[in-house]
Each structure stands twice: as C-alpha cells, then as structure tokens.
C-alpha cells in the first residue's frame, strides 16, 4: 500500500474511532440523565447500545494499530456531535435550557 494512502486510511479510521468514543460518551450521559415521559424507554435502549458502540471503537483502534498508526489519547479529542448532546433542563415555566457543563 502506498504511504500516502496508508496515512489517509489511518486518518479516516482515527476519525471514525473518535466518533464511536463520542457516541459512547453521549449515550452514557443520555442513558442516565434523560427526563420526561418516554425517558425510561429511551434510557434503556441507549444503555444497551453503549457496549456495541465501544466494540466499534475497539475494532477501529485495532485497525489503526495494524496499519502502523497510533491510537490517540484523550488530549487529541475534538468533540463534533452536537446533535447527540444531552438536552438541557426544563425550568418551572416549562422552558428548556441548554446545559452549561
């Protein structure tokens, strides 16, 4: 495999790895923190998917290593999944506010 393509593939695999890690983080947060009428059903579904998403991350990490790349540590993480962020809280007036954590 040409070096240029190997590096490109490692870069794409690393990006996919981070997406899986970020999904695990957001599923974990939402599986515990959601409130609302259908929250319990959704929380259970998300909790069951966490292990599967972590397995995807492990598979991608192993492939990065096989192709001569380095599996990055947390200091390389750049969040990108705004749509999977846990929702804000509802206040007394029924308005939803974004989290600030």
- Is 22 among the residues that bind Fe ion (CB under 5 A)? no
Residue 26 CA to residue 44 CA, distance in Å, equals 14
- Is 63 among the residues that bind Fe ion (CB under 5 A)? no
Closest residue to Fe ion using C-beta atoms: 56
Which of 56, 63, 71, 84 touches Fe ion by CB under 5 A? 56
**Closest approach of Fe ion to the CB of residue 37, in Å:** 28
For Fe ion, which is the closer residue by CB, 10 or 24? Answer: 24
Which of 26, 43, 53, 61 touches Fe ion by CB under 5 A? 53
DSSP assignment of 29-60 equals: HHHHH--STTHHHHHHHHHHHHHHHHHHHHHH
DSSP assignment of 63-89 equals: HHHHTT-----GGG-----GGGSPP-E
Binding site for Fe ion (CB under 5 A): 20, 53, 56
């Amino acid at each position: 495999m040409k070096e240029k393509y190997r590096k490109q593939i490692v870069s794409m695999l690393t990006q996919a790895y981070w997406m899986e890690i970020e999904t695990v983080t957001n599923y974990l947060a939402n599986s515990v923190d959601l409130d609302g009428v259908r929250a319990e059903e959704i929380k259970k579904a998300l909790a069951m998917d966490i292990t599967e998403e972590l397995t995807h991350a492990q598979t991608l990490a192993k492939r990065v290593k096989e192709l001569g790349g380095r599996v990055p540590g947390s200091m390389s993480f750049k969040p990108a999944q705004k749509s999977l962020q846990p929702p804000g809280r509802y206040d007394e007036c029924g308005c939803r506010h974004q989290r600030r954590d």
